[in-house]
Each structure stands twice: as C-alpha cells, then as structure tokens.
Structure 1
Amino acid sequence: MLEKYFNYKEHKTDFKTEVIAGVTTFLTMAYIMFLNPLILSEGGFDFGGVFTATAIAAAIACFIAAFYAKTWPVGLAPGMGINAFVAYFVCGTLGYSPAEALGAVFVAGVLFLIISLTPIRAWLINSIPKSLKLGIGAGIGLFLAVIGFNLMGLQVPSGNATIFKLGDVSNPLLLCGAGAFISMIVMEKMKIKGNIIIGILVFSVIAWLSGWAEFRGAVSGIKPMTHLFVFDFGAAMSASMATIVFTLFFVDFFDTAGTLTSVANVAGKVDSKGNVQDIDKAMLSDSVSTVAGSMLGTTTVTTYIESGTGIKAGGRTGMTSLVIGILFLLCLFFGDLATSLPKEVDAAALIYISTLFVRNISDIEWDDIAEAGPAVLAMIAMPFTYSISNGIALAFISYALIRLFTGKFSSTSPAIWVIAILSLISFVVA
C-alpha cells in the first residue's frame, strides 16, 4: 500500500531506505522537543503544555507533508528563532501574554496560507535581495547565541558601561554546557548523526550522576495541553501588534522558501530552468502546519534544513516525513525527561545552532557595500536590540534609502518600498 502510494520505484528508493532517512532526519532535529518548551517557558508558557504541543504539532505537520506534499522527504516542527522572539521579546519585553502571542502566530499563519495560494508567493520570494535574506538569517543566529549565553551563564550583567561580563566559569553546570557544545562540533566533524541530541543527553547524564542537576524521571504520562485553543485575537489584530505579525510571517515565509530551495537542490527537485518542483504543495503544507501549531499551543511550525540529512541518507518521498512524524508522537511519553535536562546543557544546543545560522554570511555580496551594509545591520541589530523585528525593520529601511540615494529607485522591487515604509511606521507608532 505504502509502496504504491509513495511510488518508491519512480523515485528510486524503497521502504527500508525511507525509514532510515526518517530516523536520520529525526535525530538531527529532535532537540526541538527540549529547546522549544524551555525557551517558551521563559516567556510565561507552561513547559509541559508546550512539550506536548511541540510533539503533536510536529507530527501533524510531518503527516501533512507526507500525504499532501508526498514528493518532499522533509521534517517540520516549531522553528528556532521565532520561538525565542516570541518568548523573550513579544512576551518578555513587550509584555504580551502567551494567548496574545499565539493569536499573532495564528494570524501570521493564515496570512502565509493565503499568500501560498496566490501568485504573490513567487513575487515575494523573488523580490527580497539574497544578501538581506542571509543577513537576517545570521542575525537570528546571533540572537539565539545571546540567549544561549544567558541560559548557560557565560554572559551576566556587568553593572557598568560594558553591559555584560563573563559569568562564573567554575560553575559545574556551565562546564557541562560548554562540554556539550564542544562535543556537538566534534561529532559533526566526525559525521556522527544526531550530534545535538547526543551531546544534550550525555552531558545531562553527567550532571545527574554528579548531583549537579535533578533527574525527575524519563518515561511519563502525556502532559496536558495547557495552551490548546487558548489564543487572543484582540491584540493580534491591533495596530501595535502589526509589526509582530509581519515579523512572524516574514521569517516563516522566507525561512521556508530558503529551506525548501536548499532541500530541493539536495533531492534533485530543481529542473533545468531553476524551478523547484511541487514547491507550492510544500509551502502550503508549511503554512497549514503553522495555523495548526498555534491552535495546539506552540509557535510557528516550519520546514527544517536538517531534512537534508535524511535526503543524503536516501529519502526521496513523503514516507520519510511519515516516519519523522511517528517518532515525534513517541516523544509524548518523555515529558519528565525534558524537564530534567539542565538549561545550561540545553543552551549548548542553542549556541551550536546559532553557528549554523551565521555561517551562511559567506554568500553575502561583500564586494557590494550597498548589499552588504544592510545585511550586516540586520545581523548586529537583532542581538543588540534583542529583537528580530527591529533587525528586519532597520535592514529594509536602510536598504531602501541606499537604493534611493544611489539612483536605483526605479529598478528596486515595490516590495522593498512597501516593507520599508511599514517598518518606518512601526518605529513611529511604537
């Protein structure tokens, strides 16, 4: 039945290969089960509720990809970066409640869904300069790094003009976190699958056995879904929340487009004209998953770049996604294990993931300062202002002004002017 549905022969694969590919991708992205509830709990969300929502949202998203976008062997789950933006900026700095934040995620998901069904999708993808996309991605990485440094204790307030200073490096939990970070890089270099989750678990075990952290158990009952259908549309539809909704939409839309393009190259889904086959189905699956995720009680669901590992292992159909989804459902019974992991060790994964975001800056057009300047501004504004939306806004405003004053107004996409004007308005009314 599965062989006929996914058409293994046409895609030159088989059941065993697809299962191995699914397990491979899952191992590389399973860290989200621990990091997502940890990060969102910092913004007032219930840890257990988010843990359950993460597993179910990821499973549903993977099943949608498996049976609708069935030629895409991808894994989907709540995305890194946006969860930190919601927890630390939307809820932490701006003071919105989790229900209000989830309302914004829902609205952004619906917006993504609508655009995924129209020609606007292709227009937007082609309108944003590559350097800006790369700079924004790197900025999100540095934003995650700052959060990771704080959680690990590497960075603490200095109490003077230097703002921050090095934390207590003699703290055994900090050292466990540092060891986990180094181990993740070493395992990646040695091409060991699941390096992030292995690093987290090994150094958590060291912390438990040494008595530095409390082990609360491994297998447990399913945690209640505290935030199920608990969202507030009032704030999401207000003018003050417009920038937040736009940021959620923007990051999800372009992160998904970029990830799918990268995955398509690895999977051989790009034709001779450079068009990506069935990208409309993949993006629609992603947008529907974000809407579903917000209803369940978690932030933006997106396609993971780690899907490339499963594709390299031979995955070519939605069967790979089906396997990933099943494995996420099995995670439902490990809620106590998630609460036992020391945040300092979890932080190591954040810092490691930040390096994956930042390394793409090598593709920025460094020889053209008009392209590189706004990209770098986005990259440094996000961690220093503690806001992804500020970084995006400053990047587009500066890019538009540079194009205007260098005589390139007519050759600049209208999308740039629209986003720049909206960004400027957001600063004025903030």
Structure 2
Amino acid sequence: MRTRLETYFKFAEHQATWRTEILAGLTTFITMAYIIFVNPAILSQTGMPLAAVTTSTCLCAALGSILMGVIANYPLALAPGMGLNAYFTYTVVKGMGVSWQTALGAVFLSGVIFLLLTFGGIRQRLVGAIPHQLHASVAGGIGLFIAFIGLHNAGIIVPSAATVVTLGNMHSPAVLLAIFGIVLIAILQAYRVKASMLIGVLATLALGIALHQVKYQPSTFNPMAIRDTAFHLDIRGALKMNALEIIFVFLFVDLFDNIGTLVAVTERAGLIAEDHTIPRLDKIFFADATSTVIGSLAGTSTVTSYIESSAGVAAGGRTGVTAITTGILFFIAIFVAPVVGAIPDFATAPALILVGALMVAGAARINWDEPTIAIPSFLTLITIPLTYSIATGLSFGLISFAILELATGKGRREHWMLYLLALLFLGRFIYLHAS
C-alpha cells in the first residue's frame, strides 16, 4: 500500500520522503492557521453566525487542500481567500446591502463559471498567456509581499502618517520574540535543517508561553453549528439582482491571485516543466473551482490557493502529500479550533519573513540587461507588495510587457491572449478609477 502511494504521488521523481512531506504540511498549516479565526471574524460582521463560519472555514480548507493533493498532486493548500472575504463583507453585504445568503449565491455562481472555464481550457490558456519571463518576478513579488505581511504582523514595521511605514517598538516583547524566531530559523537554514521553519515557529511559541506572552481564552465550540450557514445560499436571489459585477470581481480576483500564487509556488518548488508550462494545470483548477462551490454550500466566501503554501515548499514539500497533511490538520482543527487559535502572530511571522527571502532569490534569473523584460519584471516585483495585491502587481507586469513588445516590434500573433489580458487589466484600472 505504501509503495503504491509513493508511486501515485511520484516520490521518486520528486525525491520526496514521508517525513519531509508531513513536516512540510504541518509547516504550511501552522503558517495558515490564522485563517481559522480571521475569516470568521470578518464574515460574522455580515450577520453570519461566528461558530458556523469557523466550522465551514476549517471544513473547506480541509476538503480543498485534500482535493488539491489527491487530484493534482501539488503541495498547494487552499482556504477561504483573504481580500475576497473582505470584499464579500464590506463591499457586497455592507456596502451594497446584499444579504449574506445572496452573496453566497454569487460565490456559488462564480465557482460554477470557474468549472466551466476550466473544462473549456480557458483558465489554462490564461496561465499560458503570462510570459515565462515574468514567472520569477511574480514569485519574487509575492516573496516581498508575504515578508511585508510577516514584518507587519510581528510589529517590526508599523504604519506611519509621515512615511507610510516605519520601525516599530523594538522593546515590545512580541517584536523581540519575532526577532528571536527569525534568528533561530536563519541559523537552522544555514545548517540546512529541513524542518527549520516548523522548529522556529514552535520554539518561538514555546518561548512566548514561558514568558506569558500567549493569551489563551478557552471557549465552547460546537462543530454542528455549521447547520446555521450550510445550504443557506440564495442562488435565485443572486440571479434576480443581476449580480454580474459581484460575480466578476469574485472571478477576477480569485483567478489572477490564484495564478500568481500558483506560478510562485511551483516556481519555488521547481515543478514548472522545461517548456515553462505547469503540469496537470487542469486538475489544479478543477480542485480550486470545486472547493469554491463547496465553500459557498458550506457557508464561506471564495476558496483559493494560499501563498503560505510556500512555507511548506521551503520545508521540502514537493507532492500532494504536503497538501493532504495540511487538509487533515484543518479537519482536526474543527474540533480543537480554540487551541489552534492560540498560535500568535509573533510565532508565525518569522516563517513568513524568511519564506519571502527564499522566494526573492528567484529574481536573480531575470535578465536585468534587457529593458523589455527588466521593466515589466521590476513593476511586477514592486507593485505586488506595495498595492497589497497579487492581481494588481500581475496587471502592471502584463500591461507593461505587452506595451513594450508592441512598441519595439516584437509583437507576435500567437500572443493575442497576452494582449487581450493587458486590455482587460487596463479596463479594470479605468473602471476602478471611475468608480
């Protein structure tokens, strides 16, 4: 049985071991665990019951990650997307006055459209339209992005009215603990310890507990509370209100955030083929779209691939076993959610910061001497963290690449999808400005 599983997940091809894959899955889970409480905190502001959304968040992350691992055999973990949950709550429900049931109906419709686009091969063509020269810049930009998030979560950088951001309080216990975690992980990585991320997070957490910096408030939790949101979506209401704009945003943001994450993680893991294509792309998108449909039925916003999967990849994860491990841990979290919630930001932030450092290394492969590649790559690299959006950074990169190709006479007929994407992104910027 074990040999069959190793053959199915291609352990030999990826030089994978059970120990490394399971540790990688645990590492990914720990860096993602915040979603168990952040997502319900955001969605509950729509009137959705907190306990129900907590259960649906864990369940959808579990099923989505396991689906990805089993069907596509990639170390990509899934969960309800940050940003999309905020759009769901603050723009659709609170801003437009749409009921959360109808908003879930719109999420369901976007998931169904995703499936149709996948079966039609359109999503795969969109990924193929992204120039392979930009792959390293997308990975590097997302590396800067998650490092920025980690530095902010740790309190090492804080908002500033004068300079946008500035140095935080370096005497804060949380900041000092985060710095301890960064130094520990860095030393372990220097010694080539594969479980450096996991050891660093757990050691920082243990030190935080010893110093009484971890505040744990036990609470009652009933997994059956999911009945308050499961199958409460209003598809007919979404169709009646002509929710095309809402569905388009769910589609657009998820599609291009997912593409950016996918390119970054596979690039970092060395899973992109020699012809710059991503193997089994249709299966990846099928798992992603199916998870969104399941999420709407269970009672949560759009489910998407998580960039925190990079932490598992950095820990050595190369196969679907990493994602399956993460999924199993999310399923267990349904019953022990209050315990999982005890993992503070200062413990997970060091892993995000140093995963970001590993991902930026790919920028060395960019041909900085060629302006038609260097400029779009730089714009992609810098705008992802500064706009807090993978999709926006990818937009800048694609638009500038298309303009430079056409302006220098290098445009090719077979690149029509690239130019179409550039026009769509440009239209998005015009629409956002107009609204």
Whether TM exceeds 0.5 here: the answer is yes
CA contact (8 A) 2:107 2:247 kept: no
Q: Please, what TM-score do these two structures have when normalized by structure 1?
A: 0.76
The whole-number CA distance in structure 1 between the counterparts of 2:55 and 2:334 is 6
Identical columns (%): 25
The whole-number CA distance in structure 2 between the counterparts of 1:396 and 1:302 is 21
**1:153 CA drift (Å):** 1.7
1:245 counterpart = 2:251: yes
Q: Which of 395, 398, 401 is 1:399 aligned to?
A: 401
**1:420 CA drift (Å):** 1.4
> What residue in structure 1 maps to residue 33 of structure 2?
34
> What residue in structure 1 maps to residue 363 of structure 2?
361
**1:152 CA drift (Å):** 1.9
CA contact (8 A) 1:27 1:197 kept: yes
> What residue in structure 2 maps to residue 23 of structure 1?
22
* Equivalent residue letter for 1:420: A
**1:109 CA drift (Å):** 4.1
Please give the secondary structure, in 2, of the residue aligned with 1:366. coil
> What residue in structure 2 maps to residue 206 of structure 1?
207
The aligned runs of 1:325-404 (5 Å cut-off) are 325-404=327-406
The whole-number CA distance in structure 2 between the counterparts of 1:186 and 1:360 is 21
Q: Which of 292, 299, 304 is 1:301 aligned to?
A: 304
The aligned runs of 1:214-253 (5 Å cut-off) are 214-216=215-217, 222=223, 224-225=225-226, 228=230, 234=238, 237-239=243-245, 242-243=248-249, 245-253=251-259
**1:19 CA drift (Å):** 5.0
* Equivalent residue letter for 2:165: F
The whole-number CA distance in structure 1 between the counterparts of 2:263 and 2:160 is 40
Q: Which of 59, 62, 65 is 1:59 aligned to?
A: 62
Please give the secondary structure, in 1, of the residue aligned with 2:34. helix
Deviates further, 301-310 or 89-98:
89-98
Provide closer, same or farther for how the CA distance between residues 182 and 85 of structure 1 changes in structure 2, counting only shifts above 3 A: farther
CA contact (8 A) 1:141 1:356 kept: yes
> What residue in structure 2 maps to residue 131 of structure 1?
133
The aligned runs of 1:60-79 (5 Å cut-off) are 60-65=63-68, 68-69=71-72, 72=73, 74-78=74-78
Say how many residue pairs are matched. Answer: 412
> What residue in structure 2 maps to residue 281 of structure 1?
283
Q: Which runs of 5+ in 2 are unaligned?
A: none
> What residue in structure 1 maps to residue 84 of structure 2?
86
The whole-number CA distance in structure 2 between the counterparts of 1:65 and 1:155 is 35
Provide closer, same or farther for how the CA distance between residues 134 and 241 of structure 1 changes in structure 2, counting only shifts above 3 A: farther
CA contact (8 A) 2:124 2:281 kept: no
The whole-number CA distance in structure 2 between the counterparts of 1:385 and 1:277 is 30
The whole-number CA distance in structure 1 between the counterparts of 2:154 and 2:322 is 34
> What residue in structure 2 maps to residue 185 of structure 1?
186
Q: Which runs of 5+ in 1 are unaligned?
A: none
**1:257 CA drift (Å):** 5.9
State the superposition RMSD in angstroms: 4.2
**1:259 CA drift (Å):** 4.5
1:61-117 per-residue CA deviation (whole Å, 9 max, x = no partner) reads: 344356545xx3x444226xx944436777679976995887776555444432332
The whole-number CA distance in structure 1 between the counterparts of 2:336 and 2:374 is 45
